[in-house]
Amino acid sequence: MTDTIARPKDDITWHVMQDLLSRANRGVQKYTTTLQENNHDEFLNHLYEELLDAAQYVKKEISIRQTVHQLAKDYSNDKELGEAVRRIYG
């Protein structure tokens, strides 16, 4: 049985759907079972660890964004701003 899901109008949602499908396929290849069939893992512990990782990634991006906003205030033109951003972030 093949389920067909209509593509949503929102591209972000579409990309998330594609990511979920890709991740599910990688999981089956790696663990040779589906999430639905797997009754042995400690899912809450895995989720907690993933959320801790996510919190760190979000905090880093917030820090970068704050730095770039401050640089935009500090530098009067795009060339100087670009040079400052490249010095910090490569």
Q: What is the mean pLDDT of residues 29-46?
A: 86
Is 1's pLDDT higher than 70? no
Tens digits of per-residue pLDDT, 40-77? 778 899 899 999 999 999 999 999 999 999 999 999 89
DSSP 48: H
Domain definitions of the chain by residue range = 9-40, 42-90
Instruction: For tokens 């979000």, name the residue.
Output: 58
